[in-house]
Amino acid sequence: MTKKALILIADGTEDMEFTITYDTLVRAGVQCTSAYVSSVGTESATNDAYQATPYATCSRGIRIVPDTVFSPQAATPETYDLLVIPGGAKGAETISTNSPVQHLVREYIEAGKYVGMICAGSLAALTSNLPKQPLTSHPSVQSQLESDFTYSNDPVVVSGKLVTSRGPGTTFPFALTLVELLCGKEKRTEVGGPMVFPPGTFA
């Protein structure tokens, strides 16, 4: 059965963390859907609002057209196997403070589905009131997380169904870890090989 991933995006999302994760999962045969989270609340994220802003402007200025507008009703763990929250300070703030997203994070974990958070996206673990457990994040938000979680400086931290990572430079190991968890170690090797990482790196 084809695995499915929902990758959230907002204005200010970190470009690499979104695109590398999406791309790597697709290479593994995962069906990915990107969903735009509005900075002014879910109630405004209608089709009309989406037409007024048909793309997300990422943190380095790259404009990405999402597949859909975030809808809590369409984003349930019954539909997807993985929920991904990228970083980028502004984008992570928008996504992590969105109450329907917070509810979904808890729902995915409770349903035994994976939740991936990278960089400042790990703030969603805090705003979603996840229990104390190992995680990591971008160093810029470490102080907001270390008292509520068992903080790690590892590039990728897997804690049950929660997968966290540090920043743009750790996005490949983050994405490949998600591939392995969803599709197995052999698929990770199959996907990583043609990417031609230098010898001795994480792939």
Residue with tokens 């992590």: 96
pLDDT mean over 129-144: 98
Interval 18-75: pLDDT, tens:
999 999 999 999 999 999 999 875 444 444 444 455 699 999 999 999 999 999 999 9
The contacts of residue 194 (CB under 8 Å, 6+ apart) are: none
Q: Is residue 165 part of a domain?
A: yes
Q: Is residue 118 part of a domain?
A: yes
pLDDT of 47: 45
pLDDT of 107: 98
Number of independent structural domains in the chain: 1
Domain span including residue 60? 4-195
Q: What is the CB neighbour count within 10 angstroms for residue 71?
A: 13
pLDDT of 45: 42
What span, in angstroms and rounded, lies between the C-alpha atoms of 86 and 25? Answer: 14
pLDDT mean over 3-21: 98
pLDDT of 100: 97
Beta strands in the chain (DSSP E): 4-9, 31-36, 56-57, 63-64, 68-69, 82-85, 114-118, 134-135, 150-151, 156-159, 162-165
Q: Is residue 82 part of a domain?
A: yes
Q: Is residue 203 part of a domain?
A: no
The contacts of residue 189 (CB under 8 Å, 6+ apart) are: none
pLDDT of 53: 52
pLDDT mean over 135-150: 98
- Read off the pLDDT band of 1 (50, 70, 90): confident
CA-to-CA dists, residue 62 to 2, 19, 118, 125, 202, angstroms? 29, 10, 19, 26, 27
pTM score, whole prediction: 0.93
pLDDT of 201: 83
pLDDT of 202: 72
For residue 60, what is the domain's CATH number?
3.40.50.880
Q: Is residue 202 part of a domain?
A: no
Backbone angles phi, psi at 50, to 5 degrees: -65, -40
Active-site residue list: 17, 119, 138
pLDDT mean over 183-201: 94
Environment class of 161 (CB within 10 Å of its CB; exposed 0-12, middle 13-18, buried 19+)? middle
